[in-house]
Structure 1
Amino acid sequence: MNTSKLKQQLPDTRACHGRNSPPDTGDDAKEAIARVTAVDRGQYVITNAQGEVPAKLTGRNLYISESPVDLPCVGDWVRVSYHDAGAHASILEVLPRTSFLRRKRPGSGIGFQMIAANIDVAFIVQSCHFDFNVRRLERYLVMTSEGHIEPIVLLTKIDLIRPEALEQLISTIRGAGIGARVIPISNVSGSGIDQLRALIESGKTYCLLGSSGVGKTTLVNRLTGHASRATNAVSHSGEGRHTTTRRQLVALEGGGFLVDMPGMRELGVLGVSEGIDDSFADLQARSLNCHFSNCTHASEPGCAIRDAIARNEVDAAQFQSYLKLKKESEYLEMTHHEKRQKDRNFGKLVRSVMKSKRRQDE
């Protein structure tokens, strides 16, 4: 990583040395601010103005963390202390996040999984040839909206379809009420790449979101200016193959930073009611004209949204997607709260038992 670029981003360290900071025991233990550039099974890589250093989370941080969301993720700014002459570091604190990407934890478990933090712009990548899916695009937009991240849609592999087919895809996006900027690109011909590069601002952090095989790794190589990441040949259908295996922060040619990440198969939404409302702002605006203020848009008379669907002013599929996301988010949120309460109760029991044991030992 270009550490000189990172140095320009470093926040004011004076704000991070409060009364709870551990004492400075010498140059080898001096505290500083760094950024998490990679996470792999509880092992961290941080980058400071001098370079990359392996780091571990202190036991105290592990103990006080109420959930995995509190643990460092790629893009986090962290307060660290160095040891072994600066060859290793301990993460003391995760600084407040300005934005975040998270989703429901994959599988049957209920909880959040942090993906990345402190992202300015998310490039949502969909292939024109095999991967295009408006409903999945809506989920990504809900995710970015909830995390306070600007979305830009990248339609890749435009060299595999006709211009009129591309126009139809863009029309489908607009018909679904999606107003995000759309940039068609081709990693083969280079079309749209310069337009994308022109968007990269020095000091800002970007990320790539999308399924495996849509051309994200090739795009990273173009934006970084060198083929640092291996790519696999596409299949005869034009579908790419999975290559990225972990999230990592890399420096871009334009002075910005990019979080490269594997494709996500599951996009469960949890605690994203605000993001859903923002992503479906047109439906939210129409709902204000419903006869009943608590209209569920199911069977009540005077429903402005159902009337708009009947007049072909609103896409019925978009409305069904909105209802599905709302229902899924509300159900998972309720289940998540129940699980958190059980975890808190269990934690209180453990602390009570430990306190009782210490009294007996005394």
Structure 2
Amino acid sequence: MELTGLGLDSQLQEQASKRCKSGLRLARVTAVDRGRYVVRDEQGEVPAELTGKFLHTAASSVDMPCVGDWVYVQYRDADMHASIHDVVPRRSFLRRKSPGKNIDFQMIAANIDVAFIVQSCHFDFNVRRLERYLVMVNEGHIEPVLLLTKTDLVSAVELERMLEHIRTAGITARIIALSNVTGEGVEQVKQLMRPGKTYCLLGSSGVGKTTLINQLLGRDALETGAVSGTGEGRHTTTRRHLVMLDNGALLIDMPGMRELGILSAGEGLDDSFADIKALVSQCRFADCRHTNEPGCAIRKAIESGELNAEHYQSYLKLKAESDFNEMSYVDKRKKDKAFGKYVKSVLKGQQK
């Protein structure tokens, strides 16, 4: 296999050639599990670890390799193991605010062409959560496609109502309704996937992501959980990993996400809420707060029914969350840098 079959395009190749040092080779990260890595090149997959120098120079968690990254590696032990020296600049990425109270980025995956955002029609359907996923995907410069699974558990009328809710929210991304039981819609997903292109599945646990991968692979290669009494599946994926389909497309499976915190997602918000951005530009005053100002295009659109009020409230909530987390992150980085300078001054003083 050539590296182009693993997703190396001309843009990534150009970036890689600028920084590749003698003795190092390119490989792609195919799995990450608690700080352990697996990388793959033309010859196959091997376990890998980070070099001490890489760990020392990494400024933040964003610099650490994630699934889908291209990395510079040095092979050892007769090419049975590899050491990761550096990461090739990413063409696209998925990241979120770290779960919990810690204000930091968590890298999820990189160099993805299309993100399949998966929601089950049965119990999991939530437009507000869809908007969060879209912000994350758009911020990372990835094309979104929405997959509504388990259509066999709802009526045609219910499915049509869900599609209407999505479009009313201003979401224009392509939607594919499918059932892993009947096979409806699975072929449409297959036809979208191209050799050498990288795709990923995003969604909550139990919405049928692993079952869909098995459908795409044409065999039960990945373990799936038993269906619960409510008709929902259970969490089975425990790590992020990249698999290759028979047609040469690359697919990243990952555990379901319980938290989707938004951090520094200005561009992603603008792309995901393009309808609101367009209306804001039509307001009479550039500093319009969209409350009582005359000539407010936002208020006019809500009153006329052109703009869904819940959609606008969701935008305000996500923007406020992103702005607040960004301020906290900037403050954290300042403290980190100040502490780093203090440590260096102490060490320098001890050397005298």
Q: TM-score range by the shorter chain?
A: over 0.9
Paired position in structure 2 for 1:73: 66
Q: CA offset at residue 303 of structure 1?
A: 1.5
Counterpart selection for 1:140 from 133, 137, 143: 133
1:88-107 residue pairs with structure 2 within 5 A?
Answer: 88-107=81-100
SS for the counterpart of 2:192 is coil
Paired position in structure 1 for 2:36: 43
Q: Find the aligned partners of 1:244 and 1:234 in 2 and give their Cα distance.
A: 15
Which deviates the most, 77-86 or 302-311?
302-311
Counterpart selection for 1:190 from 163, 183, 187: 183
SS for the counterpart of 1:189 is coil
Paired position in structure 2 for 1:128: 121
Q: Which runs of 5+ in 2 are unaligned?
A: none
1:50-69 residue pairs with structure 2 within 5 A?
Answer: 50-69=43-62
1:1-362 residue pairs with structure 2 within 5 A?
Answer: 7=5, 9-10=7-8, 16=16, 21=21, 30-358=23-351, 360=352
Q: Find the aligned partners of 2:6 and 2:131 in 1 and give their Cα distance.
A: 35
Q: Find the aligned partners of 2:188 and 2:19 in 1 and give their Cα distance.
A: 48
Which deviations, in whole Å up to 9, do the C-alpha atoms of 1:116-140 show, x marking residues without a partner? 0000000000001110000000000
Letter in 2 for 1:328: E
SS for the counterpart of 1:307 is helix
Letter in 1 for 2:52: G
Letter in 2 for 1:352: S
Which deviations, in whole Å up to 9, do the C-alpha atoms of 1:71-122 show, x marking residues without a partner? 0000000000011111111001100100000000000000000000000000
Q: CA offset at residue 146 of structure 1?
A: 0.3
Q: Which runs of 5+ in 1 are unaligned?
A: 24-29
Structure 1 length-normalised TM: 0.93
SS for the counterpart of 1:182 is strand
- Count of paired positions: 350
Structure 2 length-normalised TM: 0.95
Which deviates the most, 53-62 or 177-186?
53-62
Paired position in structure 2 for 1:27: none
Q: CA offset at residue 292 of structure 1?
A: 1.4
Letter in 1 for 2:92: S
Q: CA offset at residue 20 of structure 1?
A: 8.1
Letter in 1 for 2:134: L
Whether the 8 Å CA contact 2:15–2:88 is kept in 1: the answer is: no
SS for the counterpart of 2:25 is strand
Q: 1:20 to 1:117 in 2, by over 3 A?
A: closer
Q: What's the C-alpha RMSD, in Å, of the aligned pairs?
A: 1.7
Letter in 2 for 1:318: H
Q: Find the aligned partners of 2:56 and 2:172 in 1 and give their Cα distance.
A: 43
Whether the 8 Å CA contact 1:11–1:33 is kept in 2: the answer is: no
Q: CA offset at residue 254 of structure 1?
A: 2.2
Instruction: Using the aligned pairs only, state the percent identity.
Output: 60
